[in-house]
Chain A
């Protein structure tokens, strides 16, 4: 069973600051997804990346898939209180159907 490590586990920063969170593994993935989860709700998809080196932007969020398809980062510019939540990466391995989730980064943006 591959392990997805997310770092940091917790992050609390002031509104307006920039931040980067990471998702790492020793395995190669066919695709990687980032989700945000609010308390008591299901994960909501932010982005899917499938190509090594791929960069996708979603407003102030920038997602990058590592060249070797083993890791990913999420960068948030000018963080806002609405960005507060649990950020999860998840991978779907070659030939499998299940998503394996990371440990999550709990982000708090302080107004």
Chain B
């Protein structure tokens, strides 16, 4: 069964460093998403991406965040200058179309900012 994959599974970085989290969505899906989950808290929406542009973003997704689909398979989340409070699980998801279609989640990248 097709699934969303994410790399790396864990990332440790120093405050102020840039990180890139990578995702390979399900191949025939058209909508891509990033969510995050701070330890012990709810899963929170960051951004959605369709047709090579951001279609919706939350207030969390400020100027330090960016997303890109550099080729036909990868979908990346870049955090330019990480802060301690960016430590969280980051989940990628994809769906065939929005807004009523099911979103399928990847296993997540655990980011720890020191």
Q: Does B98 contact A (CB under 8 A)?
A: yes
C-alpha spacing A31/B100, complex, angstroms: 6
Indicate if the CB atoms of B100 and A50 lie closer than 8 Å: yes
Q: Does B45 contact A (CB under 8 A)?
A: yes
Q: Which residues of A contact B110 (CB under 8 A)?
A: 40
B91-114 interface (Cβ within 8 A of A)? 91, 93, 98-100, 102-108, 110
Indicate if the CB atoms of B108 and A42 lie closer than 8 Å: yes
Shortest Cβ distance from A25 into chain B, in angstroms?
14
Give the interface size class of chain A: 20 to 34
Known: A43-B91, A98-B48, A98-B58. A88 touches B43 (CB 8 A): yes
Q: Does B33 contact A (CB under 8 A)?
A: yes
By beta carbon, the residue of chain B nearest A42 is B105
Indicate if the CB atoms of A97 and B31 lie closer than 8 Å: yes
Known: A42-B105, A43-B91. A97 touches B42 (CB 8 A): no
Specify which of B35, B93, B99 lies most central, judged by the most chain A CB atoms within 10 Å of its CB. B99
Indicate if the CB atoms of B98 and A45 lie closer than 8 Å: no
A24-49 interface (Cβ within 8 A of B)? 30-31, 33, 35, 40-45, 48
Known: A41-B108, A43-B91, A45-B104. A101 touches B58 (CB 8 A): no
Q: Which residues of A contact B100 (CB under 8 A)?
A: 30-31, 50, 92
Known: A88-B43, A96-B56. A33 touches B99 (CB 8 A): no
By beta carbon, the residue of chain B nearest A94 is B99
